[in-house]
Amino acid sequence: MSDSPLDRDVVNNKHILVTGAGGYIGGRLVPMLLKTGYQVRCLARDPARLQGRFDNAEIVAGDLLDEKSLQTTFNDVNTAFYLVHSMSAVQRDFAESDRAAARIFARAAAAAGVRRIIYLGGLGAEKDRLSSHLRSRHEVGEILREAGIPVTEFRAAIIVGSGSVSFEMVRYLTERLPVMIAPRWVNTRCQPIAVADVLSYLITELTMERTESIIYEIGGADTLSYREMMLRYAAIRGLRRALIVVPFFTPRLSSAWVHLVTPISASYARPLIDGLRNEVIVHDKRATIDFPFSPIGYDEAVRRALDRYQGDGPQTTWFDARSAPMPIGTFSGSEEGMLVDRRELATNASQEHLFRVFTSLGGQRGWLYANYLWNVRGLLDRIIGGVGLRRGRRSSTTLRAGDALDFWRVEAYEPDLLLRLRAEMRLPGAAWLQFEALPAGEAGGSTFRQTAFFDPRGLFGYLYWYTLSPLHAVLFGTMAKRIAEEAERVS
C-alpha cells in the first residue's frame, strides 16, 4: 500500500471540511474529493440548499459568524478548505464580516486540532493600492495564519470556466456587443487561469506535507490585458468585435453598464470592476516548481469553458450546475452563459411511465403538441441546408446514446431518469432539450422536469432566442403538460 499523505488520509477515513460548497469552486471541488475517496463534510448556513447535490457528502449546518454553531463541525477533520468570501458591493461591512468569519473559523479549527487550512484568495501586489475586495482577501489569509495552523493560500486572478462570474462578464459583454465602449481598466494586465488548473492545485495540495504556512501565486500560461482577453474570446467564437476605450467610465458607471447589458447585477459587478484597476499577475514562481503540472493558456481555457460536451470533467459539466432541488414551476432566464426555459411539474405518474412517454417522442409519433410547427421548423431547416425532420428515429420504442431523432441527436440517456437531446438543425448557437423523471419523495409519484438550453453565438443568437420566446413559452409549456398527462393516463 502506498504511504503517501493522500492515501493515509483516505485509509484513516478522516474528513475533509469544505466551506463554500455551494459556490463556484466548492461545488466543483466536492465531487472530486468524493471520487478520490475522502469523507467530505460540507458546512452550510442553509443545508437544504445542498441536500441532494453531492452523493455521499455529509452536510452540516453552521454559520461562520456564530462560533457556537461550529462546535462539532471540525470533529475528525484533518484539512479544511476555506472558500468563502463576500462579493456583493451592497454589503457595506463586508470586510469586517470577512475578518470576523475568518477569526471564528481559524479559532474553532485550532481548538479541534485541524492540521491544515487551504484557502483560495486573490492575486495583487501588496505594494499596490488594492481594491477593497482584493485587500480583504489578503487580510483573510493573514487572519487564518494567526491561529497557528499551517495555511496554504492560493492567490488567483480571473478564473476561466463556465459559471465563473468574472469569465461570464467577459463572455456576455463580448457576445452581446459588436462595438464595445470600454473604460481604461481594459488595458490592465491579468493572468487568467483555467478552473481545471485551480482545482488541480487544490487537490494536489492534499498530497503535500506541510509544517508551516505558504502562499502560492497561481496563474495560467498567458499574461493578457482585459482588452486582449475579450478580443481573443471573440476570435475563438468567430465574432468580429471592435473595442473603443474612453476615459470617463468610472467603476460606478461601468458596473451600471454591465448590469444593463448582462445578467450580472451591479452589486456583483462593482467589486469585480473595482479590482480590475489592479494588475493581477504572478511574480512568485514557486507554484510552478512545487506542483507537477503546467497550467494551460487562455485560449485553451476558453475552449474548454465553451465545450458543452465535456466541460471541466464529469463532475463540473454545466448541465449539473443546478443539480440541487428546485421549486415546482417555470423558470426562464440564464444560467452559466446559457439561455434557459425550464418547466417542472409534479405528477402522480411513476418515473418509469414518465420516462417511457418522453423517450417515445419524435418520428411518426411527433411531439404531442403543435406538430405542424415542428414540421415547419424542419422544412425551414432543410431549405437552409440543415438535416430537417427526415431522419425520424431508429426505433419507435427504444433509444440509445448517439441515435438521430428528427433534427436532434441523443447526447445522454439514463434509463428511467434522463434524456438529453442536442440540436443538429441550423441555429445561431447551440441548443439542447433535456427531459428528467425525478423521484417526488415520500408523497409518491414523480417530478417531471423539461429544460431547453440555448448557447447563443453573438448578438444574433440572443435576438433569435428572445424573438421566439413567446412561441417557446406556449410550445414548451404545453408539451410539458401533455407529457405529464400522458404519463398519468398510462400509469
Q: Report DSSP letters for 267-297, one per residue.
A: HHHHHHHHHTTS-B-----HHHHHSSS-PPP
Given a cut of 60, whether residue 3 has pLDDT beyond it is: no
- Which of 230, 223, 248 has the alpha carbon at shortest distance from 177? 230
Calculate the dihedral angle through the C-alpha atoms of 282, 286, 287, 289, rounding to the nearest 10 degrees: 130
Length of the chain: 491
- Kindly indicate whether the domain formed by 5-318 is annotated with CATH number 3.30.1130.10: no
In order of 59, 147, 149, 218, 285, the CA distances from 142 in angstroms are: 28, 9, 12, 18, 20
Residue 27 neighbours by CB under 8 Å, 6+ apart: 21, 53, 321
| Residue 42 binned pLDDT confidence (cut-offs 50, 70, 90) | very high
Domain residue ranges in the chain: 5-318, 326-490
Between CA 335 and CA 263 the distance in angstroms is: 9
pTM value surpassing 0.75: no
Cell for 235? 476570435
**Which range among 86-95, 243-252, 345-354, 464-473 shows the weakest confidence by mean pLDDT?**
86-95
Residue 413 neighbours by CB under 8 Å, 6+ apart: 359, 399, 400, 401, 419, 420
pLDDT at res. 193: 97
In single-letter form, the type of residue at position 408 comes to: W
pLDDT at res. 309: 46
Check if the beta carbon of residue 341 is closer than 8 Å to that of residue 466: no
Structure letter (DSSP) for residue 459: H
Check if the beta carbon of residue 23 is closer than 8 Å to that of residue 40: no
pLDDT digits (tens, 9 = 90+) for 58-102: 999 999 989 899 988 999 999 999 998 875 544 457 788 889 999
Task: Read off the pLDDT of each residue in 295-323 and give the average, rounded to a whole number.
Answer: 64
- Which of 269, 264, 266 has the alpha carbon at shortest distance from 333? 264
Residue 350 neighbours by CB under 8 Å, 6+ apart: 445, 446, 487, 491
Task: Read off the pLDDT of each residue in 98-120 and give the average, rounded to a whole number.
Answer: 94
pLDDT at res. 476: 94
pLDDT at res. 388: 83
Given a cut of 70, whether residue 377 has pLDDT beyond it is: yes
Say which residue, 247 or 236, is predicted with more confidence. 236
Given a cut of 70, whether residue 362 has pLDDT beyond it is: yes
CATH number for the domain formed by residue range(s) 326-490: 3.30.530.20
Cell for 399? 433509444
pLDDT at res. 269: 67
- Which of 414, 419, 417 has the alpha carbon at shortest distance from 434? 419
Between CA 449 and CA 452 the distance in angstroms is: 10
Which sign does the torsion angle of CA 446, 481, 50, 47 carry? negative
In single-letter form, the type of residue at position 381 comes to: D
Query: Percent of the chain beyond pLDDT 90?
Result: 51
pLDDT at res. 94: 75
pLDDT at res. 324: 42
Beta bridge pairs of residue 339:
334, 454
pLDDT digits (tens, 9 = 90+) for 200-224: 999 999 999 888 999 999 999 999 9
**Which range among 181-190, 296-305, 313-322 shows the weakest confidence by mean pLDDT?**
313-322
pLDDT digits (tens, 9 = 90+) for 425-481: 999 988 999 999 998 766 678 999 999 999 888 888 889 999 999 999 999 999 999
**Best-predicted range by mean pLDDT (2-6, 256-260, 394-398, 475-479):** 475-479
Check if the beta carbon of residue 114 is closer than 8 Å to that of residue 80: yes
In this structure, are strands 446-456 and 329-335 parallel, antiparallel, or unpaired? unpaired
pLDDT digits (tens, 9 = 90+) for 259-268: 666 666 666 6
Numbers of helices and strands, H then E, in the chain? 14, 20
Cell for 95? 470586510
pLDDT at res. 333: 65
| Residue 381 binned pLDDT confidence (cut-offs 50, 70, 90) | confident
pLDDT at res. 331: 67
Cell for 45? 448556513
Structure letter (DSSP) for residue 386: S
pLDDT at res. 107: 94
Query: Percent of the chain beyond pLDDT 70?
Result: 85
DSSP helix/strand/coil, 95: helix
